[in-house]
Structures are given as C-alpha cells and as structure tokens.
Amino acid sequence: MSRKRNLLLILIILLLVCLFACSERENADDPIEKDFSDYVDFIVNVEENRDVRVLQLTDTQIIDSSQKRYPDRINAISTEKWSPERFEENYKGYVRKTIEEAKPDLIIITGDLVYGEFDDNGTAFLDFVAFMDSFGIPWAPVFGNHDNESAKGVDWQCEQLENAEHCLFKQRTLTGNGNYTVGIVQNNKLLRVFFMMDSNGCGAASDASMANNHTKKSVGFGDDQVEWFVEEAKRIKEASPDTKFSFAFHIQLNSFAEAFSKYGFTNSGTEQNPINIDMLDNKEDTDFGYIGRDLKSAWDDGTVHKAIKDTGADSIFVGHEHCNSASVVYEGIRYQFGQKSSTYDRCNYKVTKHTITGGTLLQGTPIIGGTLIILEKGTGLISDAYIVYASGDIDVSKPANGTGKNTYTYDFNGTDFDINVTTDALKSLVTAKVLTKSVEGATGEVAGGQSDYLVCVGVNLNKELLRDSIASISLRMLVEELTPHSQNPLIRLYDNKNNSILAESAFSASGGEEGKWVDIELLDMIDRAGLVNDGVIQPFTFVYRCYGADAKVYFDSLTIKTDQKLD
C-alpha cells in the first residue's frame, strides 16, 4: 500500500512538473508575456479596441532671421518674414492645428527641425522642443541635413531632446546621431516598431557637431547602422513574429524614384511637370499626394533598401523634399514623403480648389500640415493614411470633366482667337512677330526675336467656358527645328493680366518632337495654372519658350471638346 501511495505521489509530482514546463514553454513563445522594454528603446501604450494614430510631421526647418550668420544670406523681405516674432504664423499655428485635428498617439518628425545655420545660439531649437513637449504626446524626431549646422553642436541638441519629458530620442555612438526604436504596444502585443534613423548628409555640419567623431557629412547610413537595425529586427522577430516594422529618416532612398514611376515620375523636370496623384485616373486607393520636385540627394546603391526589405518592413517615411507629399504602395512597401509642416524655405501652394503648385511658382495659399498613418487595432497593419491639412479647405481631387460630346476646332484666322504678341503683358518680355505664311495648312507663324521666348497664342473666348463641361482643350502646333541651345524647350501658360507664369511643362513631356505636328493637351496645365474662376476658364496666353532668334513655330488650330453648346 505504501509503494502504491509513493508511486501515486511520484506521478502527481511528474504531472505537475510537466504542466509547469508546458506553461513556461507557452509563455516563452507568447509575446504577450514579454517585457518589450528589453526589445525596443521606447514603448507607446495604446488602449484597447481602437485603431492607433501616428502623425508624421516634417521639415519645420525653423529659420530665425535674427541669427543669420551671413548678412547677405537672405533679403530684407525674408528677414522680416522669418523673424522669431513670427514663429506662431510660420509654423506653430499650423502644427498645433494639425495635431488637434489628427489626435495622434505618437508623432514622428522626419528631420530638419531647425535650419541650424540660423540657430547658432540654439534658442529656436529650445523653443521647438518646449513647443512639441507642451502637447503631452510622445514625439520621436530624427535629424535632417540642416539641423546640425548650428554652432551649438549635435551633442547639445541630442541632450535637449533626451531631457524633454515627452520626447522619445536616444543618442547612440553609431554613425550619425539618434538611431533608436519606438514600439507600439496594444493589449500587451507589440504591434509595430519604428526604426528612427539618421540618414546623415549635413554637409555644413558645424565643428561642434563633428567633434563626436560619428557625425557624417555625406548622405546615407553607415555600415554599423545597417548592421544594428538588421540585428535588432531579427531579435524582435524572434520574440514577436507578428510585429510590423517601419523605418523613418530624412533623405529618401533611390528606390523612391522607382516606386513613384508607377505614376510617370522620371526624376527629371518634375518642377515643370508636377504629378498630383489624387487627380490621376489610374490612382490606386492606397496612394495619394503630390510630387512637385526631383529627388535631391537620393542615395543607396540598393544595399540598404534590400536590408530594409529583408527585415519585412512595410513602410518607409521620409521628408527632405518640401514640395513632395506623395505616399504610394509599391511591391508591398509604402514609400511616403511627409506633408511639409511649416512655411519656411519653400512649400507647395493651393492656387484653386483642385490645384496645387510649388517650386518657383509661389502663389496662392501655402499648403501645410502633416500625414496621418492609421494602424489597425490588434494587428498593427497600416489600414489607412492621408494628409491632414492645416491651411484651409483644400480639395486635391480631380475636378469633374465633361464627356466632350461637342467638338469645336478653331483655325487661327484672327477672329475666334488672337495670335499676337502685342498685348501689354508680353511686350516687355518678347520680341517676335506674326507672319501670314502658310506651312502645311498652318495660318500662323511666330518667328524668334532677340528674346529667349517664342510666343504664343492668346486665347480669349467669346463665350464663358465652364471647366466641368470640358473633356479636352488641345493646341495643334509644329516646331520646325529645335535650336542647339534648347533641345528640351518649355511650354508655359501666362496670366494675360498680371504678366506672370502660371504653369509650365517640358515640350517633350506633352508629346512634342522636332519637325512634327503635335496636339498639346492644355487642360491639366489650365488646372495647375489656376485659370478657373467661379467655374469658368479665364483668358490666357500659351508660350513656347526656346533660345535663339532663328527658330520657327507654327500654330494651326485649337480644339475644344465640351458638353456646352458654343455655337
């Protein structure tokens, strides 16, 4: 009896040991029981049963003109515009409104917090840190290519960020400054980790910034940065296989150009041929935003991009190109330029309800805000993303177009439309004349003068033409010969009244070739130029721009396809 009792006792003990071992093994495989602080530098806990909201701000790039290092660096107008007394007007009001609208759980800032050359005493940086901390929301910044120009130096800047109550930032001795991780935790699960990286590239970094011996003036990650994030990603995945990864840094990879090529981006002449994804017929539901500038300082031979992809990352968030706010999903990865978050330096402008322009054509309402990223509750997947505008009612969707059931073709005979260069708006810019010589049916020829410009067709309709009724407005023209000085000339739309450029494009981008007739579609340029007032298309002048006095351009006709009756 005693032996049976002992055997029973042994069996019970063995059973308890097995149950305990199984429990321990389950816990080892289950990330719910992990202390995630062992795997990421910072944790943002989000309450259960709702989606997670992450706001990307970028390129506040604060300029304190009272600290300008070189007297002639900016003109008197910019000196007054960018004085510290106007911080509220130039960035704080926009950022505050964006945050209030977005209601984020986490704010990431993808570089160029300040323009360091205009902050040698560090007061703008301190003011920015205090301002961001005042919202009581976790915020995680990375440096851009201008921050570390300040004479205060990057180590001082890092110290201010690390000491701020709500700022998530960690200085490491890796190449660059501030490579760290932020984890989103919900219901005891590590949903997503943001790898916050320094893409370096501050070519004018101050001596104080260079003193730590790991600040890097050239753009791109160091090998040690890549090794670090690869190992960290592997370690996190082993503990929590379902965790999603995002990368955030300032200057974009070359892979962004390939991703944007799905919408015709060629990384050449983008300022003259901007791409408003929201107005494209082939826009995918995941994509949005505006590409208004070529990719400056893009880097990587593909090695870093492959390393990021190999971690399983599904998104890369960058800044740097103020006039780019595009976000596209390409081959399973979201490539996103954040929306510019201040008016400093340059930004895009709203010309009309549906029209954005940027670059050198600075007119209209500045477009400022941030980009909101929605993470699905429980999974951390990016379920939605969109721009939060803080600068007025902006609708970047494509305006309605007519079916074009009525077609009107106007030959240039001087009655319906004027071919001339005699308007006061153009006299000061153009030396040219209109001839009556006919070339293959063309009745208008404009010969070059001493100016760099060849004109033009002045369009003045006798009837109001409603924009939403238009399917197409095309101009038929021929360039007899491209001059040696201008193998890729421009076409422009001018404001007849104010003598200003409203929109421009490369002649070749519109299908133009030397010695061939081409129908130049003007409707998109009209939209970009803001030539719609109360729904009605306004008079304008079309200009062919080239160099040399011997070039010849012929205009044959202008065709309008519209739902309106113009007879």
Residue 146, both tokens: 């201008």
Residue 484: which domain range? 406-562
Residue of 234, 265, 245, 237 lying closest to 316 (CA atoms): 245
In a domain, 52, yes or no: yes
Tell me whether residue 244 is in a domain.
yes
Of 3-7, 107-111, 520-524, give the range with the top mean pLDDT.
Answer: 107-111
Q: Do residue 364 and residue 417 come from a single domain?
A: no
Q: Tell me the percentage of the chain whose pLDDT exceeds 70.
A: 80
pLDDT at 506: 83
Residues 94, 222 within the same domain:
yes
Average pLDDT, integer, range 369-384: 97
CATH number, domain containing residue 191: 3.60.21.10
- Last-in-domain residue among 389, 421, 442: 389
Choose one of 354, 389, 424: the last residue of a domain: 389
* Residue at a domain's end among 339, 354, 389: 389
Q: What is the pLDDT of residues 124-160, one digit of tens each?
A: 999 999 999 999 999 999 999 999 999 999 999 999 9
If asked whether residues 59 and 138 sit together in one domain, one would say yes
pLDDT value at 436 more than 70: no
Alpha-carbon separation of residue 281 from 80, 328, 442, 458, 503 (angstroms): 43, 15, 33, 30, 21
264-293 pLDDT, tens per residue?
Answer: 999 988 887 889 898 888 999 999 999 999
What Rg do the C-alpha atoms of the chain give, in angstroms? 29
Query: Which range (200-209, 334-343, 406-415) has the least confidence?
Result: 406-415
What residues have CB less than 8 Å from 478, skipping those under 6 apart? 439, 440, 442, 515, 516, 517, 518, 553, 554, 556
| Residue 22 placed within a domain | no
> Does position 420 have pLDDT exceeding 90, yes or no?
no
Residue 33, pLDDT score: 45
Residue 540 confidence class, pLDDT cut points 50, 70, 90: confident
Is residue 463 very low, low, confident or very high in pLDDT (cuts 50, 70, 90)?
confident
pTM of the model: 0.80
Q: Are residues 125 and 178 in the same domain?
A: yes
pLDDT at 23 > cutoff 60: no
Question: What are φ and ψ of residue 254, in 5° steps?
Answer: -60, -25
Look-up of token digits 């370096």 = 200
Specify the 3-state DSSP secondary structure of 506.
strand
- Note the Cα 160 to chain centre separation in Å: 28
Torsion on CA atoms 359, 360, 365, 367, rounded to nearest 10: 10
* Per-residue confidence (pLDDT) for residue 441, from 0 to 100: 39
Mean pLDDT computed over every residue of the chain: 84
Q: CATH number of the domain that 514 lies in? A: 2.60.120
- For 511-524, write each residue's pLDDT tens digit: 888 888 899 999 88
pLDDT bucket at 476, cuts 50 / 70 / 90: confident
Q: Is the pLDDT confidence value at 90 over 70?
A: yes
Same domain, residue pair 268 and 379: yes
In a shared domain, residues 375 and 427? no
Amino acid, single-letter form, for residue 400: A
- Are 218 and 134 in a shared domain? yes
Identify the band that residue 451 occupies on the pLDDT scale cut at 50, 70 and 90: very low
On whether residue 27 sits in a domain, the answer given is no
Residue 19 lies in a domain: no
Same domain, yes or no, for 325 and 428?
Answer: no
| Predicted confidence (pLDDT) at residue 28 exceeds the cutoff of 80 | no
438 pLDDT tier (thresholds 50, 70, 90): very low
Report residue 447's pLDDT band, with 50, 70 and 90 as the boundaries.
Answer: very low
- The answer to whether the Cα torsion of 107, 108, 110, 112 is positive or negative is positive
* 294 occurs within a structural domain: yes
Per-residue b/e over 298-314, b at no fewer than 16 CB within 10 Å?
bbbeeebbebbeebebb
Q: Are residues 382 and 449 in the same domain?
A: no
pLDDT for the residue 398? 72
Tell me the per-residue pLDDT of 288-322, one tens digit each, with 9 for 90 and over: 999 999 999 999 999 999 999 999 999 999 999 99
Tell me what pLDDT residue 486 has: 54
Is residue 9 domain-resident? Answer: no
pLDDT computed for residue 545 by the predictor: 73
Structure confidence at residue 498 as a pLDDT band (50, 70, 90): low
Task: Identify the band that residue 167 occupies on the pLDDT scale cut at 50, 70 and 90.
Answer: very high
Check whether residue 366 and residue 425 sit in a common domain: no
Does residue 77 form part of some domain? yes
Q: Do 349 and 416 share a domain, yes or no? A: no
Q: Tokens 């949903």 appear where?
A: 191
Give a three-class secondary structure readout of 365-424: EECCEEEEEEECCCCCCEEEEEEEECCCCCCCCCCCCCCCCEEEEEECCCCCCECCCCCH
Counted domains in the chain: 2
Q: Which two tokens stand for residue 54?
A: 């992450």
Range with the poorest average pLDDT among 84-88, 469-473, 541-545, 562-566: 541-545
Residues 483, 359, single domain; the answer is no
